[in-house]
Structure 1
Amino acid sequence: MRTSNGQSVCLNGNLVSTTVDARHVSKIQKSLLPSQAEFLDSIMFHGVSGFSKSLKLIHDLALYHSDVPFDEDEKSALFDLKILWEGFERIGQES
């Protein structure tokens, strides 16, 4: 995605000049849509560690402190939460 000044927004939210040399090209994974960049900026602003802890807490409450039986949909939703909190943990370690 190109900004008005000709730069690209990349997965890590940074602007990358269109004249990036070959050493840095491998770091550019994917251009983001504006809504994706805004979402990631919001997460980074509020703090990924807080999001990670919240998602893990919700997961653990549902799994260990609930009498609700789990079918495939519920198991899939809990696994999705696990993927999210672990992803936020990795992002927090890299930043």
Structure 2
Amino acid sequence: MGETGIMGLTITLATLAFLTDSVLILPIVAMPLVVTTLSDLIQMASKKFRGGKRVFRIAPIHHHFEAIGWSSYKVTMRFWILSVVFAIIGIILAVISR
């Protein structure tokens, strides 16, 4: 998808969350996006404050998994599974909170 696609998807999700008054559920539903962004931030902070030491072999985290030997297919399937799980959790929380 690339950075441009992720940005567009994130902005769309944020807009929908504000329009539907479900801002607190957004980080749960968008957990794979949040984890990807946090892995970038953690890597940059680690390199800056720990003298160049890295937490991940490469960031974002899906590239780290590929670097440790996972196939692209395996990484994609794991992220899809996590996306579905967190989407279901978000839907359940949205229904309960109404």
| Higher percent of residues as helix | 2
| Higher percent of residues as strand | 1
Q: TM-score, normalising length from structure 1?
A: 0.35
Larger gyration radius, structure 1 or structure 2: 1
Q: TM-score, normalising length from structure 2?
A: 0.34
- Structure showing greater relative contact order (alpha-carbon pairs closer than 8 Å, 6 or more residues apart): 2
